[in-house]
Every structure is written in structure tokens, then in C-alpha cells.
Amino acid sequence: MNRRYAILLVILLLIAPLAISYIPTKAQGKKIGIDLTPGRVKDIDNKWSQKLLRELEGNLSAAGWEVVELTEITPETLADLDALVIGKMYNEQSGFSDAEVQAIAEWFKQGGKFLWVGADSDYTEPYLNPEDTSFKSKEPNKILAAIGSHLRIDHMSVEDPENNAGAAYRVVATRAAGGINDQGPAAEITKGVDRILFHGPAGLAGYKDGKFVPIEQVFNEHIFWLARTGPQGTVVSHDGVDPEAYSVGDTGRFYLAAAEVIQVYSDLFTIKYSKVIATGESLIGDRNIFNSEYHGVSLDGPTFTMNVFRWGLTEKTETNLTGYAIIGAVIVVIIIVLAVLFLRKK
């Protein structure tokens, strides 16, 4: 009888890790950082941007999340964050240092993190070099590359002559025109969303085999689109730098928001993921995604934003069957050995 109890005890100890299977961690009680490093975010200090920022922070706080305004990005300021929001760049001097990029990447690769990377088109404000505004895509792309994402910001402007808020460059992704993805994992994020403003946006591209590609080439179960133009979307350029994956004058549907779930950690028993969303417009700064109305067009920016954070802040962790396969093999061997010993005793 003692031998049977010993066998049972060994088996229980070996299979105990099975109790830690995939259980999503809910999004409540999380901490969200917003990168407001001085001089970085375009027009963040104007009246309209501040109004939208305060509304955004109010909505996030009301949902039970703590909001932290970051004035610098370091391993220390990121340490206890669950999410980080990056906005559109003001100028080339406001970009990310190597140390900041490394800090974000190391934070993201801990698992259970959510990153929102916003961007801007190649529109040439009077204070910028009219021949080269490529920092607007290169800076966010430094972050996307560092975390291992297959999403990229392409250096261009996207317009839509049919779905907009009074001008082709004020693009509105609309459900009615097939511009809102309500299929698969995207449906959770776009629930209740009919229209989202992307004011003067860049377009999204994919990154595959070391080069920029049309974003459709990287879509899979872990990479999916959220918002796009109508069928008459157009690629436009305002400076002397060409897009990477598309060509100026291309027409069709161009993607404005996409999400990716990235595996960042794995041991014998657990696989951890972090999540990222890339958008051709920013969540913070001038004329941003959070708008609920613009030039007489009602919008669902706040609903979309809150859905994004609920998705992003719900952690994804899976059981790695490799460890359990090893345990199973060990259990079988132990049982065989003990059975042989038991029979020999007889």
C-alpha cells in the first residue's frame, strides 16, 4: 500500500504545473503610461490637444486604470507600467534615443505588455525640411523593429475622396464602406465602432524577410487589421521621400490601424505574449483618433480607444505542451520501473 501512495505522490508532484494553464488576466487595475517627453509630441500643448488628452485620461481613469504622464523614458519609468502610448513626432530632434528604444523593447519583452504606436503622414509643416520628413515614420518604426513587430509605418500620406470629414485628407474609416474590421479577433476591438477619424494619416505596411511589403502579406491569426480606407483610397506624397511598400498615386484600400500579438517569452511550461497596435494617426497630439466629432461628422474615437485598451491590457499566456510531454514521458518511465520492481518482489 505504501508503494502505491508513493507512486501517486510522485505523479501528483509532476503534474502539479498543469493547474497553471491558460487563464487571461483581466484588464482592471492596470497602469498606462503616456509618453509626453518635452518637445516630442506634435502640438500637444495647444488647447484642442489638451482638451482631448484630458478626456482620454478621464475615460481611462473611469475604467479603473491608472494613468501616468511620462516626461522621460527609462527602465525605471517603464518598470511598473502595463501599457505605453507613443504619439506623433514633433520634429527630428524629438526622436527616440538608442537607450529609450532599448528600454521600451526590454519592457515589452517581459510579456503581458501593451504598446500603442501612433504616427503621422509626411505632410510638411513650415518648420520642417520640405524635402525630407521621413523621421515621422522612421522614429515609430525604430520601436516596432525593436519589439519584433511585423508592422511598420510607411512614409506617405493616405487620402480618401469618398470617406472623410469634409476633405480627402481628413480620412474617416467607416463600417459602411468596409473600413472597419468586424471579423475574427478584430471584432472585439471594433464593437460599437462605425467611424474613426484619421486626420492626415500615414499608411501601414508590413515587414517580411527584411523588407517593407504591402501589409496584407503579413496578416495571420496574430496580425490583423482594424481600420482602412474605402476602395478609392489614394497614396499621396508631400516631400521628396518615397514610400517603401507602396507607390505615390496608388489607389485602393490602405490600412490605417492594425494589431499584433507577439510571443515574447517561452519556457517548458508557459508561453507569454505582449500586444501592439500601430496607427497611421496618433492617439495624442493634434487632431487625433480620440475625436467624437469633427467638422460635423460624428465619430467613435472614444469607443474604439477604450476597446483597444481592454483588448491590449487583457494578458495572453498559454500553456507550453513541451514541458507536459516531458512530464508525461517521465511518469510513464517511473510507472514502468516501479511496476518491474513490484513484480520482481513477488
Which residues of the chain are under the pLDDT cut of 70? Answer: 1-28, 266-268, 320-346
Beta strands 151-154 and 157-159, pairing class? unpaired
| 31 lies in the same domain as 66 | yes
- Asked if residue 272 and residue 162 are part of one domain, the reply reads yes
Looking at residue 25, its pLDDT comes to: 54
319: which strand partners?
270
Crossing angle (nearest 10°) for helices 301-312 and 47-62:
50
Q: How far apart are CA 270 and CA 103, in angstroms?
A: 24
Does one domain contain both 222 and 345?
A: no
> 248 and 341 share a domain?
no
CATH at residue 200? 3.40.50.880
- Over the stretch 251-270, which tens digit does the pLDDT of each residue have? 999 999 999 999 998 666 78
pLDDT digit string (tens) for 2-46? 555 445 444 444 444 444 444 455 566 899 999 999 999 999 999
Q: Are residues 233 and 345 in the same domain?
A: no
The pLDDT, as a whole number, for residue 27 is: 63
Count of structural domains, the chain? 2
State whether 136 and 41 are in the same domain.
yes
Q: Are residues 267 and 329 in the same domain?
A: no
341 and 273 in a common domain: no
With 0.85 as the threshold, say if the pTM is over it. Answer: yes
Cell numbers representing residue 308 in the block: 483597444
Residues 134 and 252 in one domain: yes
125 in the same domain as 15: no
176 and 131 within one domain: yes
Structural domain range at position 271? 25-315
Same domain, 149 and 65: yes
Asked if 239 and 130 count as a contact pair (C-beta separation under 8 A), the reply is: yes
